Amino acid sequence: MNQIKTNEAAVALREKYRQLIKENPMRIRNAADVLGVSEGQIVASRVGEGVVRLKDEPQEILEQIEGLGEVMALTRNEDCVHERKGVYSNHSFSKHGPMAMGLFVNPDIDLRLFMNHWKSCFAVQEESHGHVRKSIQFFDPTGTAIHKIYLTGNSNELAYTRLLADYAAEEQPLFIEVEAPKPPLPSVEDDAVDWAEFRAAWEGMKDTHDFYPMLRKFKVDRQQAFRHIGADYAFPVSNETSRKILELARDRKCEIMVFVGNKGCIQIHTGPVENLMERDGWFNVLDPVFNLHLKVGSIANTWITKKPTTDGVVTAVEVFDADGEIIATFFGKRKPGIPELELWREIVAEIPAEGVHA
């Protein structure tokens, strides 16, 4: 990734970006890849032209978002975009050792935040399809977008203006310092794992939140775990399953949960899906309060998994890219203390197992 360390270099980047999208209109994330920089570096280069650098105080800024009223929350990874309208109410932040965590939990805006990955903050105003879009955007230390919050027609624009006045950074440089991405922690070799002990730990789970600590304890990755746990708890299915699950949920009027995230944020939709459409390699949910854009060609592996909890087994469809990164996860609607929907189990039961995809 190119380092941009002066305003002069940033101005040059801004001009390259303008020329690129003029000749070949594309999303800023894709333009960053073409130019060999991060999205955050392009946004920073536009400071003063509809972009304001905010203080690197993401928690404090997030705590003010409720005052904006209804907004649209956007969280994405390379292959899936999750957009949900609502109000940022009922937040909490906490620390667990070195880990700083955040939560927004309400029927509309449901977020799990891993604040150690949040760094740069910007307010962005841009033209889009003849309208001005206003947003707050957050980036990690590599300059990768973690989360974006867009104003809607029902937002409090005065509160947005006040937020910018309160949190604008004193210095407004046209560049940000970025770090190289850290390589993922290696998993242990299969023969170094006591799989009988691992299965006993899986069978002993009381909550789905026990799953990630269990993986860390045994130093295995998700799909490595799925391959060894046994078909009663995890089995591979067709990579068409995401499309099929969404279509069945629509047709059977089954409320589902859709998790999409990155290192800094997981965003959750709970409710129905109704308007489905495929276009240009993306399978889309286009509902009034929830939009999903899934790049189906990037799906390399799909698994159905079953995890024990005190409320009974929780069934998920987990979708991965070729690098083993999770793209999206689908559940039936559920809450702690309530078993998952029987309708969801019936839908998942219609998906046949098949061999592992390369």
Which domains are present in the chain?
A: 7-86+120-167 (3.40.1570.10), 190-274+294-349 (3.40.1570.10)
- By percentage, how much of the chain surpasses pLDDT 90? 91
286: confidence class by pLDDT, cuts 50, 70, 90:
very high
Q: Is the pLDDT assigned to residue 242 strictly greater than 60?
A: yes
239: confidence class by pLDDT, cuts 50, 70, 90:
very high
Q: At what angle do helices 241-252 and 342-349 cross, to 10 degrees?
A: 140
Contact 309, 205 (CB under 8 A): yes
Can you list the positions of beta strands (E) in 97-144? 99-105, 110-114, 120-128, 131-139
pTM of the predicted structure, to 2 decimals: 0.95
Contact 108, 97 (CB under 8 A): no
Contact 109, 86 (CB under 8 A): yes
Q: Is the pLDDT assigned to residue 56 strictly greater than 90?
A: yes
Q: What is the mean pLDDT of residues 42-58?
A: 97
Place of tokens 């999903």: 292
Contact 104, 89 (CB under 8 A): yes
How many Å apart are CA 87 and CA 97, to the nearest integer?
Answer: 30
Return the percent helix, strand and coil in the chain, to nearest 5: 30, 35, 35
At residue 110, the pLDDT reads: 98
